[in-house]
Amino acid sequence: MMTPDDPESQPPPMGDNEPSSPSWLIGEVAATPAHAPDAAVEKIDRRDFLARATSVAMGASLVAVYGAFAAMAGRFLYPARPALKGWLYVADVAGFKRGASLSYTAPDGATVAIARPGEAGKVEDFIALSSTCPHLGCKVHWEGQNQRFFCPCHNGAFDPSGRAIAGPPQEAGQSLGKYPLRIDGGLLYIEVPLEGLPGPGEA
Ligand code: FES
């Protein structure tokens, strides 16, 4: 039988580095879920955060879908108007000799290379192609002796239809844009966008 003086019945002495709780109580303390409420709060916070994040993501998706639908509806209801075009004077046919070429600037600032390889006295004598190289934008010019349009920047070349036949534009399958021409009363006209021309009453 143990008495109060029996060393086995007394709690062990506490040292400097020992825990403040008596070692013989450690088992009991450890069994108590001291941080359980914090863990539960953390779990709820995480669930709440995930729920909010999901709501925000769904909201953003809906906004994107409705935005795309509104843009499509807008294009359907208000289609973009095609650029207004018109026929503008280029040159007197009699003064535009076979083999000659000129650079024409449209009202919208686009530059056009117009050449006359033919001599039949018809509009088919003339070619009008954009003079802006589709490769990197250098200026293309007509080479009468080679019957082609040439870009000096990287030796790009185009046939009279505008199709690339040499250089980087050919490798990329590019071509020069073609402009319609017509002859009326001995004068050569070109059809171009009229943007950039002053409107009625504008100086
Ligand atoms: S810019 Fe014309 S070939 Fe490169």
Q: Between the CA of residue 78 and those of 63, 88, 132, what are the distances in Å?
A: 22, 29, 32
Cα(123)–Cα(116) distance, integer angstroms = 9
| Number of the ligand 1 atom closest to the C-alpha atom of 156 | 3
Give me ligand 1 centre to Cα 54, in Å: 51
pLDDT bucket at 51, cuts 50 / 70 / 90: confident
Evaluate: CB of 123 within 6 angstroms of ligand 1: no
Give me ligand 1 centre to Cα 66, in Å: 43
Give me ligand 1 centre to Cα 89, in Å: 29
pLDDT bucket at 83, cuts 50 / 70 / 90: confident
Q: Write the pLDDT tens digit of every residue in 22-43.
A: 444 444 444 445 555 566 666 6
- Ligand 1 atom 1, closest CA: 136
Evaluate: CB of 156 within 6 angstroms of ligand 1: yes
* 58: Cα within 13 Å, side-chain hemisphere: 6
Rounded to two decimals, the pTM is: 0.61
Residue 48: its pLDDT value, please? 81
Quick one: what percent of the chain has pLDDT higher than 90? 54
Cα(132)–Cα(162) distance, integer angstroms = 11
Instruction: Give the list of residues 6+ apart from residue 92 with CB closer than 8 angstroms, or none.
Output: 186, 187, 188
Residues 7-33, mean pLDDT to the nearest whole number: 47
pLDDT bucket at 74, cuts 50 / 70 / 90: low
Higher pLDDT, 177 or 82: 177
Question: Which 3-state string (H, E, C) describes 100-148?
Answer: CEEEEECCCCCEEEEECCCCCCCHHHCEEEECECCCCCCECEEEHHHCE
Higher pLDDT, 11 or 119: 119
Cα(143)–Cα(162) distance, integer angstroms = 13
Residues 70-98, mean pLDDT to the nearest whole number: 82
- Confidence check: pLDDT of 14 > 60: no
Cα(93)–Cα(101) distance, integer angstroms = 12
Fold held by 85-193: Rieske Iron-sulfur Protein (2.102.10)
Any idea where the domains of the chain sit in the sequence?
A: 30-77, 85-193
Instruction: Report the mean per-residue pLDDT for the chain.
Output: 81
Give me ligand 1 centre to Cα 126, in Å: 24
Pick from 130, 132, 135, 170 the residue to mutate for probing ligand 1's pocket: most ligand atoms within 8 Å of its CB: 135
83 neighbors 193 (Cβ within 8 angstroms):
yes
Evaluate: CB of 139 within 6 angstroms of ligand 1: no
Reading the block at residue 176, the tokens are: 């020069």
